[in-house]
Structure 1
Amino acid sequence: MFDSILVPTDGSPGSERAFEAAATLARTHDTTVHVLSVVDEHGPTDDWDYDGDSPAAAFIESQANHVDTEDLSVTAAVREGVVHDAVLDYADETDINLIVMGTHGRTGVRRFLLGSVTEKVVRLADVPVLSVKADAEPGTVSFDDILLPTDGSSGAEAAIEPAGALASVTDATVHLVSVVDTRSLGVDVGSSVIVDELESVATDAVENTSDRLSEMGVETVETAIAHGVPYRAILDAIEEADADLVIIGTHGRTGIDRYLLGSVAEKLVRTSPVPVMTVRASDAGEEQ
């Protein structure tokens, strides 16, 4: 599924962790990795410290010290402009299937550009975006346990195909979780009935998703129903499953609250201790 992977780089540790993750996926899918450096027309450039033909080419060379690049097909590119626009334009021009970016989990860091930029790309990209924390442990990345949250919406369904495609190739275990959001419910009898209905919806969501994954060749699927604040419950599920990766669907371009996994996905990008792949539903752009 991931025939062409893009790693935008600003030379930060987040970019290095993103490249490591991209290299793992590239070997799994026999994929070309594009490394893109963008000269930000609105930001400082003094922190760039590269020798060689281009910042991207120098970055690739520097990664060869701890990432085996000999068996990888890697392409270097440089663009100038507004960073997130340049990333999205390059992805469109070169038929990228996956964007892998580093993130600091916060905004306002001027020296490293890929904090807030990552969140903009997550909202706007037409292809999946894998966000990797800058403070992740350096070295080889593995995706043996994948957490796949679902609420049964079209946004959640968008994440099934990439999760299944990756898990079927790597023999990963997929951990399905659906969260019953009980924040606005009281403790009266009526609330109990509503909780039962929400649990029924959640159960249907994980069962239907499990069936879809099995049809895609995923051999090991585990399911769970959780209660509470969705993104916090998902964070707990990451720890319980010892997950290496979260794949979550989103209508993140619009940020409409009725799509549960829109705002939840963005919170996970900022707070998850493991990489998060966001997958935008194809119809998200139609919502206003």
Structure 2
Amino acid sequence: MVDRICVPTDDSDAAAAALDHALAVAADHGATVHLLHVADTTRDSVTRIGGDVVDVLEREGESIVADAAARAADRGVETETAVRQGGVPETVAAYAAEADADLLVMSTRGRQGVERLVGSTTERVVRQSSVPVLTLRPGDDETAYPYEDVVVPTDGSGAATAALDRAIPIAERAGATVHVLSVVATGGIGVGDYVDADVLAEYADDEVAEGVERVEAAGVAAVGAVEVAPSAPRGIRAYVEEHGVDLVAMGTHGRTGVSRYLLGSVAERALRTVPVPVLTVPATEADEE
């Protein structure tokens, strides 16, 4: 169940699209949306208007979150608003944790200029956030909600299991199918020379089978797949496009060594390339054991 959703906004078209998606999720779950605007303190923003000294970025931010709250009210969604000063990634991550959010929703692009939620900023939020982050790429086809097909890449690690456990209730609520996917990346060091790709595929079969069993035990439809690709992100994207997947859920850390598929860098590359929303789930220390 999602009760609190944090949405950073900068009034760009991309941020507006992320807000629309977040409002659809909030309306479905009866959740409150926490609207945040970050007045980036890396830029000078204090000026004098008449006889008053004002922070123009904070004043602009108040207008931005008020407009977003009005859009939410039109959808019957309750909101709380905040304008904070600071660096964008750390402020967004800290506010989401402070608000005890269940989900943080943001675009991979934003307004160029004073506050921009560009790809690198989004990736830094993903690295720092203790809250699952749902990212959307602007410019793609209209994002589907509720989701009908959810893919969870797995390497058998605790981080991948954490992502799977987050995806199961999402799929259950929507009546969606969970695709448990393992990608055998042939571009890895030693693959084909010292390590047989077929051997890796056998390990992948076992990891997928365990994931499918976990999903089906929760009463959710599951499909298992092992794909061979030059890299994990390319394999994930190809599977998404071939099977019409609506959401990718993946851990932000994964197993190191020969069978690493879900390292943070892989998740970040998926954010840039996968043409559907990506839910990144931070792994706790217990998950990674």
Distance (whole Å) between structure 2 residues aligned to residue 94 and residue 2 of structure 1: 13
Aligned-residue offset at 1:27: 2.5
Given the alignment of the two structures, is residue 93 of structure 1 paired with residue 93 of structure 2, yes or no? no
Distance (whole Å) between structure 2 residues aligned to residue 96 and residue 51 of structure 1: 24
Structure 1 counterpart of 2:149? 145
Aligned-residue offset at 1:101: 0.7
Structure 1 counterpart of 2:170? 166
Structure 2 counterpart of 1:129? 133
Query: Structure 2 counterpart of 1:176, which letter?
Result: V
The C-alpha deviation readout for 1:171-202, integer Å capped at 9, x for no partner, is 011122101122245657x65xx323211211
Query: Structure 2 counterpart of 1:69, which letter?
Result: R
Range that drifts further, 238-247 or 82-91 = 82-91
Q: TM-score, normalised by structure 1?
A: 0.84
Distance (whole Å) between structure 1 residues aligned to residue 147 and residue 89 of structure 2: 27
Structure 2 counterpart of 1:75? 80
Distance (whole Å) between structure 1 residues aligned to residue 158 and residue 143 of structure 2: 35
Conserved 8 A contact 1:84-1:121: yes
What SS does the corresponding residue of 1:42 show, helix, strand or coil?
A: coil
Name the Cα RMSD after superposition.
3.1
The C-alpha deviation readout for 1:10-69, integer Å capped at 9, x for no partner, is 1112211211221222133221111111111114779979889542112232x35xx952
The 3 A distance-change label for structure 1 pair 186 and 124 is closer
Conserved 8 A contact 2:38-2:85: yes
Conserved 8 A contact 2:38-2:61: no
Structure 2 counterpart of 1:19? 19
Structure 1 counterpart of 2:52? none
Aligned-residue offset at 1:139: 7.4
What SS does the corresponding residue of 1:10 show, helix, strand or coil?
A: coil
Distance (whole Å) between structure 1 residues aligned to residue 59 and residue 142 of structure 2: 21
Distance (whole Å) between structure 2 residues aligned to residue 179 and residue 284 of structure 1: 24
Distance (whole Å) between structure 2 residues aligned to residue 84 and residue 23 of structure 1: 22
Structure 1 counterpart of 2:3? 3
When Rg is computed on C-alpha atoms for both structures, the one with the higher figure is: 2
Query: Where in structure 1 are there 5+ consecutive unaligned residues?
Result: none
What SS does the corresponding residue of 1:113 show, helix, strand or coil?
A: coil
Structure 2 counterpart of 1:114? 117
What SS does the corresponding residue of 2:186 show, helix, strand or coil?
A: coil
Range that drifts further, 177-186 or 87-96 = 177-186
Distance (whole Å) between structure 1 residues aligned to residue 137 and residue 232 of structure 2: 21
The 3 A distance-change label for structure 1 pair 51 and 156 is closer
The 3 A distance-change label for structure 1 pair 286 and 234 is closer
Aligned-residue offset at 1:284: 8.3
